[in-house]
Amino acid sequence: MGQKSAEEIVKLARAKDRLTTREYIAAIFDDFLEFHGDRNFRDDLAIVGGIAFLEEEPVTVIGMQKGRNLQENLEVNFGQPHPEGYRKALRLMKQAEKFDRPIVTLINTAGAFSGTGAEERGQGEAIARNLMDMSDLKVPIIAVIVGEGGSGGALALGVANRVWMLENTMYAILSPEGFASILWKDSSRAAEAAECMKLTAPELLALGVIDKILPETFNGQVLETEKVIQILKESLIEELVTLSKMSVDELVSQRYERFRKF
């Protein structure tokens, strides 16, 4: 089996049977305690976050939640966060810094919600604030793209010391449909756009945008879900041990320089 096309990767990244953030949290972490709300407006269900244990070590885990069906997707706004979702995430990251807990983020969104209400409540400011404050957090951060990684909506949880992608996921400045609409005024050319956007994991690894690809297949065969989870869990444990040995100055400097080079 040859390498998948970008169009195939986009379809796999958006597949309804992909594990959701809540399912990853339940499978990888122990004793997850969810926190709600941004202490300003409301609780955004598109962002799930709280504290948990990873091999008996406390961590803060935050991710974007997509639904399995129409009703669930309506409840979580199809995984597109509002500004209060990003503010909730930042509140939890600041709490993690206060109590010296590493942060794991799970990214799966087509992008931040662009509705009128979200813009009125400062969507752009909320995303920009996350980018600025995450760059200066004094604890290790690992970001994992587990589905779609769309635009600034994804980057708002992606300013990390390590950025990983599952094999069949995408990470891009916007959707292929949006790219085609802007460049060619024709969203039907999305497949063509995907091929030139360099949104697949191998392309982004080669460019240095991400640090690691987590396999979902072996010798052309799809891995069992339990195996993918095991690989992700073991990788998180190993990498957090490495990052825990770095000083605060090293963590902040490494993260800052990582993103400055782009």
- pLDDT band, very low/low/confident/very high, at 2 (cuts 50, 70, 90): low
pLDDT in tens, 36-81: 999 999 999 999 999 999 999 999 999 999 998 999 999 999 999 9
Helices 6-13, 176-184: crossing angle, 10 deg rounding: 130
Secondary structure of residue 109 in the 3-state scheme: strand
Per cent of the chain over pLDDT 90 is 86
Cα–Cα distances in angstroms (integers) from residue 135 to residues 140, 145, 159, 161, in the given order:
11, 18, 6, 9
- Decide if 212 is inside a domain: yes
Q: Please tell me the predicted confidence (pLDDT) of residue 219.
A: 84
Question: Domain range holding 61?
Answer: 6-260
* Number of domain units in the chain: 1
Per cent of the chain over pLDDT 70 is 99
**CATH number of the domain that 13 lies in?**
3.90.226.10
User: Nearest Cα to 159, choosing from 149, 169, 167, 147?
Assistant: 149
**CB of 175 within 8 A of CB of 150?**
yes
- Decide if 1 is inside a domain: no
pLDDT in tens, 126-165: 999 999 999 999 999 999 999 999 989 999 999 999 999 9
- Decide if 39 is inside a domain: yes
Distance CA 120, CA 107 (A): 24
- Decide if 227 is inside a domain: yes
Terminal CA-CA length for the chain: 33
- pLDDT band, very low/low/confident/very high, at 220 (cuts 50, 70, 90): confident
